[in-house]
Structure 1
C-alpha cells in the first residue's frame, strides 16, 4: 500500500482542487486570487489548499503579508509511474494534464 499515492489521488478526486491546479499551471497565485472564481468562503478554499499542500501537489509560501501558491508538478511522478505499470499509460505530460484538467473544469461547469 502506497500512502503517498493514496493522498495524491484523494487530492485529485475533488473538482475544486483540480480547478485550482489548472489555475496554477499558468503561474503562482496569491491565495485570495485562487479563491476569487469560487463561490465559497476563503476558509473553504484554504481547506482545499491545505489538502493540495499535504499531498505535495502545491506548495505555499508567505511573501510579505501575502500567501502564494505554486504548482509542484513533480508530485505527479509517483502516480505516473504507478499508472505506467499497467502498460497502457504514458508518463504524465503536463500539457496533456492541463488539457485534462480544463476538460474536467468544463464538464463541472456545464
Structure 2
C-alpha cells in the first residue's frame, strides 16, 4: 500500500509533541470545546491554538464553530492512514526477523555438525 510521505511526515510531527498527544488522548473520549481542551495546560490560549491548528492541519482533528464555541473531534480516517502504514511496517519487519531466525537456526545446525 502506497502512502503519501508528506502526509505521514505531518502526522508524525503532530504526534511528536506531548501537548498535541494529550489533546488527542482527550479527544479519544469524544468531542470537546477548545476551552475544555485548554484547561489542563499552563499556556496562553494563542499558544494552545497553535497546537490545535497544527492538529487540524495534519488532518488528525476537525473543528467546527457554532456561535462563539469551537468544538474539536478526532478524524478517524486519518488514524486509519497511520494504522495502515504501521501494519505495512510490522509485516515488513516480521518478515525480516523470520528470515533472520531461519538463518540463525540453519547456521547453528551447520556448526553443530
Please, what TM-score do these two structures have when normalized by structure 1? 0.75
Where is the helix percentage greater, Structure 1 or Structure 2?
2
Bigger relative CO (Cα 8 Å, ≥ 6 apart): 1
Q: Which has the larger radius of gyration?
A: 2
From 59, 63, 68, give the equivalent of 1:56.
59
What does 1:7-26 align with in structure 2 at a 5 Å threshold? 7-26=10-29
Matched pairs, number = 89
**Pairwise CA RMSD of aligned residues?**
1.5
- List runs of 5+ in structure 2 lacking aligned partners: 95-113
Please, what TM-score do these two structures have when normalized by structure 2? 0.73
What is the SS of the residue equivalent to 2:28? helix
What is the SS of the residue equivalent to 1:85? helix
